[in-house]
Structure 1
Amino acid sequence: MIAPPRHLTSLIVVFALALLTFFIYYRPSIGDTISDHATSIAGVSGRSRVKAANATLGFGGLFVVSGPGSPRRSKLEQAAAVTELQLTIPEQVQWTGQDVLDFRWDNVTESKVGIGSVKAWLSHHLVLKAFLESGVETALIFEDDVDWDIRLRTTQVPLAQAAARTLTSASAASQYPWGHPDTWDLFYLGHCGDYFNDLDEGVGVGHHHPHHLTEIPHQVFLDPTLPDRTDLHPFTASLLTALNVPLQSRVLHRSKWPLCTFGYAVTRASALKILTDVAPPKEDIARNLIAYDAALLDGCRNAYKLNCFSITPELFHHMEGKSIIALEEETHDHKQVFRPPVDVAGFEQVWWRKETSNIGCGFWSGEFYYEYEESKLEGLREEARKGRCAKEGRRAKEGRR
């Protein structure tokens, strides 16, 4: 065999070294693009390639905001039993009129926070304090009217955890499945939309473009449990399309305009900051806030510099039904409370799909409640452990996914 000329060999070596240097230097940026990251997990099957999350979804605990005698508690506990989640439900206080007055701005006539919103704010405070007293490092806090997919533990959370570790550059998956608590302050796993701006400015196609996503830290990941794009909430579907996110994919991204606090994870440091700085139990009229979730949004966006991330589409969403906050304010503040724009836009779809917005195989339809029949509970648990949606046969007959 004839050896190549020495100068040619040298050129090949130099070229190879240059190529290797380029790859090493630019490799971190590759995962930031939508298509490359999606391709890198294209072969992942949520049912066989990921390990199921534990009973607290990788956090120190699952803490629930649920008022005294809440009619929603039974359904929540049944859903948790089916998916084998371990809940902590701190005992709430029956908030009084004096508690509301103590919270409101000194000149009550200038107060912008309704009575129902004040009580919800104080209830979240109580749960945050219970978390800090528990001694665990992190907590997922959610409200008692949320819905989730029966495949939450087996598929959805493990995929989201992998994306979170990539985004926060974490390596200790066993101890901190969501990344070390020093690398994040708040994860929005449940919300009513992070639409990147105020709803009044428009959402999705015609208003957003791919650069709105690519210019912020994010990870796109496939999730086979995600509903078809046409079955997602209209605002969510339009936003994902405008951002050029592949079908059957979620995005974990820096929070831009997160709405609602259906399910949010905190660390000990961020919980303390929320209690004392971001959302203290006293109205500040200068901040022009009307609710607790607005205070957290402000904390993620503005001077408080919370390091917040949102999952879009979300893993938790509130079930269709009358708002307890709205009932309080209609009764005691004597004002008419209208449905939020997000709920209005998704109302017809919820009833047609028989599913909560952005949830693929959830509990709201009633099919997964076992009504305390142990034999039925075991059957439902088996379906959940296998990562299967038992509704798919019915949907096929109806011509729907």
Structure 2
Amino acid sequence: MLLPTRYFAIPSASSRLAALKPKYLTIIAIVLFFLITGSFIHIQNPDRIHSALQRLPGTDAYAKFATPAKLARNQTLGFQEIFYISLPFRTDRQDAISLLSSFTGIKSTMIEGVDGGSVHPKGKTIASNLNPGAFGCWRSHANIWRKVMDEDIETALIVEDDADWDVNIKDQLFRISQGVLSHTSLLDNQTAYTRKDAPYGTDWDLFFIGQCKSTPPKEKSKIGPVIAVEDPSILPLKKLESKHVSELKAYNITTSSTRAIARVHDTICTTAYAVSRRGAERLLYNWGYKDFGLGIDNEFSFGMNDGKIKGVVVAPPLIEQWKTGTGADSDIDAVAGAASGERLGSEGGSTRNIKNSARKAMKEWVKWQKKR
């Protein structure tokens, strides 16, 4: 299925440099030297796309969304809160998330995960036939949806404790914000909050940045535009897992260094997604107040397909599971009694689709800190 795709391109360095006088080239060379040698985390420079964005149809000037876009680089990545879920006994994963957050300048709050086997029968939905691990996963997420409602939180990013992300995640999300804010189709139902403080808008219930895979809606009328954002911090297509290459092709993206932002019909995994306040209400009503019987990621997919909730996805994802072995390290499989195999420990893990893994970079970062 070929979808309408909207690009904003970064002007080539050669075309811009050719228009400059030699004396200015010397100044630029000196500035670039100090920027590159004096920075460890800030590898990419998304400011290069400002001029290109000003020429986008429908965006009179970049200044219209400069303020909310820059919030993508704050400690909560432009969301009001970041919560991560971790079972109380997974202190190994809690240590890892604390290190990862400190390393990349992110502020996150732990929410205790729920052991599904310990939930009283009356606390379970009548139709649920989930195993204890999957049920505990749902209840852990549902507790955050309720917290978002109770504390009147406009947007919250929910991350599971086996996550990994790129050292440039703030710059990556800055680009995503510029893409979202440049396209009015993702900015319906604007409020004073969204115009000033929402770098990704809030016209969504779920905003996926950590799915295992996604597919667009089956009905063309529900697809809407696909925004293609150039991002040099993505792995080349030939190095991405085939599932993410297929994911991009479904959104008509066939070139490297490009992400898609689009309405989504189907997703797998809940490694990292944001929820709006309105979305939290809809989630808790449909999968809490009402009965359900599938894993929460499957329920999300059916809900988006049926029009119960509205989802937006970034593909390929910015956040991915850090695999530290086989099913032996999965809290869902372990609780269900299906876990087997070898555990490798945090340091022995890996992610396959992140170019500059923050977990892998922590070792060098600690060495650098010692020398300061």
Q: Normalising by structure 2, what TM-score? A: 0.71
Counterpart of 2:177 in structure 1 is 161
Spell out the pairing of 1:1-400 with structure 2 (5 A cutoff). 33-34=4-5, 37-39=7-9, 41-43=10-12, 46-49=45-48, 51=70, 53-70=73-90, 71-92=92-113, 96-99=117-120, 102-105=123-126, 111-153=128-170, 155-167=171-183, 168-169=186-187, 174-179=196-201, 181=202, 183-196=203-216, 216-241=224-249, 243-277=252-286, 279-280=287-288, 283-284=291-292, 289-304=293-308, 306-321=309-324, 322-330=329-337, 336=338, 355-365=350-360, 367-369=361-363, 376=369
1:65 positional shift: 1.3
CA-CA distance at 1:292 after TM superposition: 1.3
Q: What is the SS of the residue equivalent to 2:148?
A: helix
CA 1:96 to 1:149, structure 2 compared with 1: closer, same or farther past 3 Å? Answer: same
Compute the displacement of 1:308 (Å).
Answer: 0.8
Residue identity matched to 1:150: V
Gaps of 5+ in 2: 14-43, 50-69, 342-347
CA distance in 1, matches of 2:172, 2:48: 12
- Classify the secondary structure of the residue corresponding to 2:259: strand
Matched to 2:130, the amino acid is V
Q: Check the 8 A contact 1:355/1:361 in 2, yes or no.
A: no
2:38 corresponding residue in structure 1: none
Note the C-alpha offset of 1:355: 4.6
Whether contact under 8 Å (1:122, 1:281) holds in the other structure is: no
Give CA-to-partner distance per residue, 1:190-221, whole Å, 9 cap, x none: 110103489xxxxxxxxxxxx97995322001
1:377/1:161 Cα in 2 relative to 1: closer, same or farther (>3 Å)? farther
* Secondary structure of the corresponding residue to residue 251 of structure 1: strand
Distance 1:283 1:261, change over 3 A: same
- Identical amino acids, percent of aligned pairs: 23
CA distance in 2, matches of 1:357, 1:370: 19
Query: In 2, distance between residues paired with 1:82 and 1:103?
Result: 39
- List alignment gaps of at least 5 residues for structure 1: 1-31, 199-210, 331-335, 340-350, 380-401
Is the alpha carbon distance of 1:376 and 1:310 closer, same or farther for their aligned partners in structure 2, counting shifts above 3 Å? same
TM-score, normalising length: structure 1: 0.66
Letter in 1 for 2:148: F
Q: Is the 8 A contact 2:259 2:316 kept in 1?
A: yes
SS of 1:190's equivalent in the other structure is coil
CA contact (8 A) 1:317 1:356 kept: yes
CA contact (8 A) 2:114 2:137 kept: no
CA-to-partner distance for each residue in 1:294-334, whole Å, 9 max, x for gaps? 12222211141x2211111001111113211001101xxxx
Give the secondary structure class of the aligned counterpart of 1:258.
strand
Structure 1 residue 38 displacement after superposition? 4.0
Change (3 A) 1:84 1:134: farther
Q: Using the alignment, how far apart are the partners of 2:280 and 2:257 within structure 1?
A: 33
Whichever structure has more strand as a proportion of its residues is: 2
Contact 2:179 2:227 survives alignment (8 Å)? yes
In the aligned structure 1, how far is the partner of 2:297 from the partner of 2:140? 12
Change (3 A) 1:46 1:123: same
- How much has 1:92 moved relative to structure 2? 4.5
CA gap 1:337/1:256 in 2 versus in 1, 3 angstroms: farther
AA at the equivalent of 1:144: D
Superimposed CA distance per residue, residues 346-396 of structure 1 (whole angstroms, 9 cap, x where no aligned partner): xxxxx9xx851321111343x41589x6962897xxxxxxxxxxxxxxxxx
Q: 1:79 to 1:37 in 2, by over 3 A?
A: same
Larger Rg: 1
Q: Is the contact made by 2:228 and 2:253 (CA closer than 8 Å) also made in structure 1?
A: no
Cα drift, residue 249 of structure 1: 0.1
Assess if the C-alpha contact under 8 Å between 2:223 and 2:263 holds in 1.
no
1:90 aligned counterpart, secondary structure: strand
The answer as to whether partners of 2:268 and 2:297 remain within 8 angstroms in 1 is yes
| Distance (whole Å) between structure 2 residues aligned to residue 378 and residue 127 of structure 1 | 40
**Corresponding residue for 2:54?**
none
Query: Helix, strand or coil: the match of 2:355?
Result: coil
Aligned length: 301
Q: Over the residues paired in the alignment, what is the CA RMSD in angstroms?
A: 3.4
